[in-house]
Amino acid sequence: MVSHLTRFVSSLWQIHAFGEGNTRTTAVFTIQYLRSLGFDVNNDLFAKHSWYFRNALVRANYHNIAKGIDYTPIYLERFFRNLLLDEQWDLRNRYLHIHPTEEWSVQPNLSTPTSTPTSTPTSTIRINSQNLIRVVLALGNEQISAKELMGKVGLKDRENFLEYSLNPAIADGFVRMLFPDSPRHPRQKYLLTEKGLTLYKELTEME
């Protein structure tokens, strides 16, 4: 249904029947169409992420052979996955860039989805935030102290780093302590678990 809706709505928008208001008209039509199929949807997501919706339509319709840019429906699919399947893709325009920075190259899903999109690693889907990706990439195959790890991810606030990056990575099973029975051990270091190493391999293969 998501794939069908993406193709249908993208093709409808491409007609561009009006001088102004094509995206708004497409959104209203889409809501009416989904309601006719029995879905209980409203305008909230379209209103909150109107810029993302419009630019996702552009990415689904734009290609430039000379620059190696092809059509990509994945961003529009993620919008509709949030709308219909209650997934939580981060719908910000930074993830729509054709040549994104490393920080913006992976669009995070902030909750476990009902099914896994083929374009995103399975383990990446379960990560709660982009901070965890940075920790995993920074650790790699090394054993690193918290101070060294903070330096590698570019953070200076230790309390903030522990609360929003390192502790969630440990809680989610991606990172473990070298001395788990002694958290304050003077030679404490952190390393990836098997789960973390699997994710690290997936992320580095995507680059």
Residues 15 and 77 reside in one and the same domain: yes
Considering the domain boundaries, does residue 46 fall inside one?
yes
Considering the domain boundaries, does residue 124 fall inside one?
no
Considering the domain boundaries, does residue 22 fall inside one?
yes
CATH code of 189's domain? 1.10.10.10
- Show Cβ contacts of residue 72 under 8 Å, excluding neighbours closer than 6 positions: 59, 60
Residues 66 and 155 reside in one and the same domain: no
Helix (H, G, I), strand (E, B) or coil at 64: strand
Question: pLDDT of 55-90, one tens digit each?
Answer: 999 999 998 888 878 888 999 999 999 999 989 999
Are 192 and 200 in contact, with CB atoms under 8 Å apart? yes
pLDDT class of 129 with cuts at 50, 70, 90: low
Which range of residues forms the domain containing residue 53?
2-99
For position 206, what pLDDT does the model report?
Answer: 61
Residues 75 and 156 reside in one and the same domain: no
Residues 80 and 162 reside in one and the same domain: no
Number of domains the chain is built from: 2
Are 161 and 207 in contact, with CB atoms under 8 Å apart? no
